[in-house]
Structure 1
Amino acid sequence: MARSDRGGILSVLGDRAFWLGLVVIVVGLIVFALLFNSAVMPIWTRHDAAVQVPDVKELTPEDAQSALLLAGLDWEEQEQPYNPNVPADVVVDQSPSAGTTVKPGRRIYYYVNVSPKQLVVVPRVVSLSEGKAREDVGDRGLVVDRVEMDTLRTPYENTVTRQEPAADSRVPVGTRVTLWISPGVESGRQVTVPNVTGMLVEEARAAISEAELWVDSPRAVEGEVTRQEPARGERLSPGQEVRIYTESGGD
């Protein structure tokens, strides 16, 4: 056989071996992928494993933890501001909710209505200066957390226009209080005093505020407004005060 013929045969055999080897490798990779996806991945990801979240509402934190542990779930406890209308020191909410299907080990958040050691009455600090308001809040064992500038104007700059929590509400010692303060009277333009005589107190207050004027009159708390100062139709700068009077409460 000629040398050239032998070389051609060897070349063909080499090409066949190469392509056969390549086919074997490809087939092997496909088989490996199928086996990995069907056998290994379900074990790794626990694809088919699922549990239902138990209902832990109205349980104590200890009982809630036991129930979640038995279900194969993790947990994290969150405290929420005390609500006197629901039982104290028990779980009042959870996330995800009871009955939800989740994977084992999922973290469940539950919220406990923690009873306060002591409740105090929030002082009324609207119309006070920021400094005096801070003092009164601190005297009750509360903390001024934030002070925000309000769009509502009053006769004097940096007086309190709103507060949260509301005055006279009962809250735990250490509760954080937010105050809003006034930028003061706006100069350069005027607004008209509305007629609020004959209105209920809350309606009158809303009408005066809508007119961009300030109303305090802490003794006028209920009934109809019998008198107002200044009278309707007068022109004032935004933020100036309108006083209202009632038969039962004065001004």
Structure 2
Amino acid sequence: MDRSDRGGFLSVLGDRAFWLGLGVIVAGLVVFALLFNSAVMPIWTRHDAAVQVPDVKELTPDEAQNVLLLAGLDWEEQEQPYNPNVPADVVVDQSPASGTTVKPGRRIYYYVNVSPKQLVVVPDVVSLSEGKAREDVGDRGLVVDRVEMDTVRTPYENTVTRQMPASDSRVPVGTRVTLWISPGVESGREVTVPNVVGMSTDEARAAISDAGLWVDSPRAAEGAVTRQDPAKGERLNPGEEVRIYTDDDA
């Protein structure tokens, strides 16, 4: 074999070695990918692992945490405004719901009806000025959260027309109160005073309000209205007051 033939033979051997090595590398990568996908990935992603969320309602927070821990789940406690109609200091709701299938380690949110440290009675601030209403609300340990302008008119601007929570409600100290205030009397037009004599006080108040007029008359007791001022048929500006009287205060 001369020199040129020997060079060509070595070149062919080199090419074969290169392609053989490359083939071995590619085959190794394919085998690795198959092994990784079939063995490693299921362990890593835990596709086949599943846990049913246990029911933790009506449990105390400590009991709920222990149940979730034993199930291999994480948790986060959420407090919600106190509801006196359901048991206090226990879990009243959860998310996801019990029976839901989730992966191990999933975070479960449970909601506790935390009993208030102290309950207070909401004062009646309707018909008061905004400033006096804020003072009375604060004196009970409550907070005026929002003040909204109402469409209901009263004889005086910024008189409280509505409140939430309602007066005489028992709520936790620190509860936020919303007030609605009046824009005052509307000038430029008149409405007719309705006849409310003989109606119950609730019916009379509703009829006067529907006419666009204001009624306070806190001394009017339950029962039939015996007198009103102004009388029926008179013309007033929207927001002006009609007083009602019953036998007990007439």
1:138 paired to 2:138 = yes
- 1:76 deviates by 1.9
Letter in 1 for 2:218: P
Match of 1:119 in 2: 119
Unpaired runs of at least 5, structure 1? 1-20
Q: Give the Cα separation in 2 of the matches to 1:38 and 1:219.
A: 83
Stretch moving more, 86-95 or 191-200: 191-200
- The 3 A distance-change label for structure 1 pair 37 and 175 is same
Stretch moving more, 209-218 or 198-207: 198-207
Structural mapping, 1:1-251, within 5 Å? 42-220=42-220, 222-248=222-248, 250=249
CA RMSD after TM alignment: 3.0
Letter in 1 for 2:102: V
Letter in 1 for 2:234: E
- 1:96 deviates by 2.5
Letter in 2 for 1:129: S
Match of 2:3 in 1: none
Larger Rg: 2
- The 3 A distance-change label for structure 1 pair 62 and 242 is same
Count the aligned residue pairs: 231
> How far does the alpha carbon of each residue in 1:119-141 deviate from its partner, in whole angstroms, 9 at most, with x for none?
11111111111111111111111
Q: Give the Cα separation in 1 of the matches to 2:241 and 2:232.
A: 13
Unpaired runs of at least 5, structure 2? 1-21
Q: Give the Cα separation in 1 of the matches to 2:106 and 2:67.
A: 14
Stretch moving more, 27-36 or 169-178: 27-36
Helix, strand or coil at the partner of 1:148: strand
Stretch moving more, 35-44 or 238-247: 35-44
- 1:183 deviates by 0.9
- 1:184 deviates by 0.8
Identity %: 86
Helix, strand or coil at the partner of 2:195: coil
- 1:178 deviates by 1.2
- 1:167 deviates by 0.8
Helix, strand or coil at the partner of 2:109: strand
> How far does the alpha carbon of each residue in 1:96-150 deviate from its partner, in whole angstroms, 9 at most, with x for none?
3222333333332222121222211111111111111111111111111111111
Q: Give the Cα separation in 2 of the matches to 1:199 and 1:81.
A: 39
- The 3 A distance-change label for structure 1 pair 37 and 243 is farther
Q: Give the Cα separation in 1 of the matches to 2:39 and 2:137.
A: 64
Q: Give the Cα separation in 2 of the matches to 1:235 and 1:139.
A: 40
Q: Give the Cα separation in 1 of the matches to 2:243 and 2:80.
A: 40
Helix, strand or coil at the partner of 2:202: helix
Stretch moving more, 209-218 or 98-107: 98-107
Q: Give the Cα separation in 2 of the matches to 1:172 and 1:30.
A: 66
Helix, strand or coil at the partner of 2:62: helix
Match of 1:12 in 2: none
Q: Give the Cα separation in 2 of the matches to 1:112 and 1:243.
A: 47
- The 3 A distance-change label for structure 1 pair 247 and 104 is farther
Q: Give the Cα separation in 2 of the matches to 1:100 and 1:83.
A: 26
Q: Give the Cα separation in 2 of the matches to 1:29 and 1:217.
A: 90
Letter in 2 for 1:158: N
Match of 2:8 in 1: none
- 1:241 deviates by 1.4
